[in-house]
Amino acid sequence: MTRIPDANVIHSRLRLRQLRLMLALQEFGSLRRAADHIGMTQPAATKMLHEAEDLLGVELFERLPRGMRSTPFGETVIYYARMVFAELSGMREELVALQSGNLGRVAVGAIPALASGLLTRTIATLKQSHPRLSMSIQVDTSDVLVQALLQDQLDIVLGRIPAGARAEELLFDSLGEEALCVISGAHNPLAKATQLSWAELQNMTWVLQQQPSPMRAIINQVFHNARVDIPSSIVETTSIMTLLSLIQQTDMLGVTPVSVVEDYPGRDLLAVLPIKFEARLPPYGLITRRHRIQSSAMQAFMNSVRAEHALSK
């Protein structure tokens, strides 16, 4: 097998048109249809594929009786080809934005616990300094957001790296950790207690995040460590506002980071119950793709997050 060349050889000799051909081959599974798709003849496409395989020193596609199928080497090249074209599309969008006088656009994902506090303050500050910066916000659990990030649907995630994520493909800039607490409505009889155990709360109705979020995993573990069955009456939601509304209007209980209670305008409508909660969530921070070039809009957003977080300490 030919030796795979050094990176500088690939940089200088591998062409974008070759990458386009590989993406078309992956999509259509036929050299003729792939060639038609990118506007070239089949013989020219065959020659271009051979040149790419000779350059890289590996077979990229397996020739089958009916069509073609990517090899493991081809799958790797296709994965990075998608990233290349995604970056070029991002470059084009940023150039258009700069030409029109905008800083650009940034797509942000945030976990619910940070959306109403740190994220809100960041957006307010950022729009003062960069009023024409375009932002889209998605609020969800870390597992959903990180998956969207890996699929290039988001630029940045303000959250946690979930268990099982492809951590080698991510960059994580830790901002801190959060303590958790059990809350009820201020009217709840439990709010007057001086000490509570997990067994006393087991039969209550709980408002919790959905599986398999990091917070839900911790809560399940806390009940397990206390040798208490997980509550059978549970309302699942990823919305902090839904949780807080249910807590205030019913006798349900919930678990939130302490910062959510401290930042909530209706703090006097809530009560933090006197129960020991030593478990902490994994660190939260800014999550980006490792190999993705950070646009001006991304850098402005992340710098603003860091500045707002430092002010809140």
Same domain flag for 217 and 186: yes
DSSP structure class, residue 101: T
| Domains identified in the chain, total number | 3
Domain boundary among 93, 116, 141: 93
Least confident of 66-80, 97-111, 154-168, 220-234: 97-111
Residue 176, strand partner residues: 284
Assess if residue 2 is contained within a domain.
Answer: no
Q: Is the pLDDT of residue 257 over 90?
A: no
Same domain flag for 308 and 289: yes
Indicate the residue type of 266.
G
pLDDT for 132 equals: 79
Domain boundary among 65, 93, 121: 93
- CATH number at 73 reads 1.10.10.10
Same domain flag for 11 and 64: yes
Assess if residue 239 is contained within a domain.
Answer: yes
Confidence of residue 167 (pLDDT cuts 50, 70, 90): confident
Same domain flag for 64 and 145: no
Question: What average pLDDT does range 96-110 have in this prediction?
Answer: 77
Q: Tell me how far apart the alpha carbons of residues 297 and 302 are, in angstroms, rounded to a whole number.
A: 9
Q: Is the pLDDT of residue 100 over 70?
A: no
Q: Tell me how far apart the alpha carbons of residues 14 and 19 are, in angstroms, rounded to a whole number.
A: 8
Least confident of 16-25, 135-144, 210-219: 210-219
Q: How far is CA 252 from the centre of its chain?
A: 30
Assess if residue 130 is contained within a domain.
Answer: yes
Assess if residue 26 is contained within a domain.
Answer: yes
Q: Tell me how far apart the alpha carbons of residues 236 and 209 are, in angstroms, rounded to a whole number.
A: 5
Same domain flag for 82 and 118: no
Q: Is the pLDDT of residue 97 over 60?
A: yes
Q: Is the pLDDT of residue 83 over 70?
A: yes
Q: Any idea of the CA torsion for 249, 254, 260, 261, to the nearest 10 degrees?
A: 60
H or E stretch at 184: strand 180-185
Assess if residue 173 is contained within a domain.
Answer: yes
pLDDT in tens, 19-78: 999 999 999 999 999 999 999 999 999 999 999 999 999 999 998 888 899 999 999 999
In the predicted model, what is the mean pLDDT of the chain?
88
Assess if residue 121 is contained within a domain.
Answer: yes
Residue 46, strand partner residues: none
Same domain flag for 122 and 72: no
Least confident of 25-34, 92-101, 122-131: 92-101
Q: Tell me how far apart the alpha carbons of residues 263 and 309 are, in angstroms, rounded to a whole number.
A: 13
Q: Tell me how far apart the alpha carbons of residues 6 and 305 are, in angstroms, rounded to a whole number.
A: 38
What domain range includes position 258?
180-272
Same domain flag for 56 and 202: no
